[in-house]
Chains A and B, each alone.
Chain A
Amino acid sequence: AQSVTQLDSHVSVSEGTPVLLRCNYSSSYSPSLFWYVQHPNKGLQLLLKYTSAATLVKGINGFEAEFKKSETSFHLTKPSAHMSDAAEYFCVVTRTGNQFYFGTGTSLTVIP
């Protein structure tokens, strides 16, 4: 069975401070992992993906995530939050086939 758990439903940070959005996964086999972002009234946009290559994955807009097999984690980070980062973030796992398994999402608020 495959699933992801996003540990925080809501995260609030000040502009210019680091962002950490936590995700733990459960997968019987080597998974592929993704982070998607959804801005208000927009589609789900792919931020970054891990597909068994480098464990530190760099994505768009300065985000990155590190795959840690020993901790079954794939946390999303950014060194310095920007106002435009305020959005809903989804951690997604899959192994094969056509199905994505989504986490429940983390709402990021950036305080000016």
Chain B
Amino acid sequence: EPEVTQTPSHQVTQMGQEVILRCVPISNHLYFYWYRQILGQKVEFLVSFYNNEISEKSEIFDDQFSVERPDGSNFTLKIRSTKLEDSAMYFCASSEFPGPPNYGYTFGSGTRLTVV
């Protein structure tokens, strides 16, 4: 069964550093997403991406965050100048069709980011 692959599975970074979380979506999918889950809290939507553009973003997704599809296979989330409160599990997802109403996404296994 096709999978969404996320690397690394766990990353530790010092406060103020930049991190890049990487995702390889399913090859025929066109819509990409990032979600995060702070420990003990709900999984929250960050951003959706289609046709090399952000299609929707939450209020969490401020100027500290950016996304990119640098080549035909990778989808990255960059966090500049990390803060302690950025520590969370970050999930990448992809879908073949837009929007969730009739389709579920395929999620990756997540990257646990720890900011120290």
Residues on A facing B (Cβ under 8 Å): 32, 34, 36, 41-46, 49, 51, 90, 94-104
Contacts and interface: CB of A to CB of B under 8 A. Distances in A.
B42 A102 contact: yes
28 contacts: A34-B100, A36-B107, A41-B9, A42-B109, A43-B4, A43-B91, A43-B106, A43-B107, A43-B109, A44-B91, A44-B107, A49-B102, A49-B104, A51-B102, A95-B101, A97-B56, A97-B99, A98-B45, A98-B55, A98-B56, A98-B98, A98-B100, A99-B58, A99-B100, A101-B45, A102-B43, A103-B42, A104-B42
B90 interface: no
Nearest to B95: A98
Chain B interface residue number, banded = 20 to 34
B42 A98 contact: no
Interface in B63-104: 91, 93, 98-102, 104
A75 to B, nearest CB: 18
B91 A99 contact: no
Contact of A98 (B31, B102, B104, B109): B31
Contact of A36 (B6, B55, B101, B104): B104
Interface in B1-16: 3-4, 6, 9
Contacts of B9: 41
7 closest A-B pairs (Cβ-Cβ)? A44-B107, A46-B104, A102-B43, A98-B48, A43-B109, A99-B45, A43-B107
Contacts of A100: 35, 43, 45, 100, 105
A46 B104 CA distance: 7
Contact of B56 (A32, A46, A99): A99
Given A43-B4, A43-B110, A99-B56, A51 B45 contact: no
A49 B31 CA distance: 19
Nearest to B6: A43
Contacts of A41: 9, 109
Contacts of A103: 42
A90 B104 CA distance: 13
B47 to A, nearest CB: 9
Nearest to A42: B109
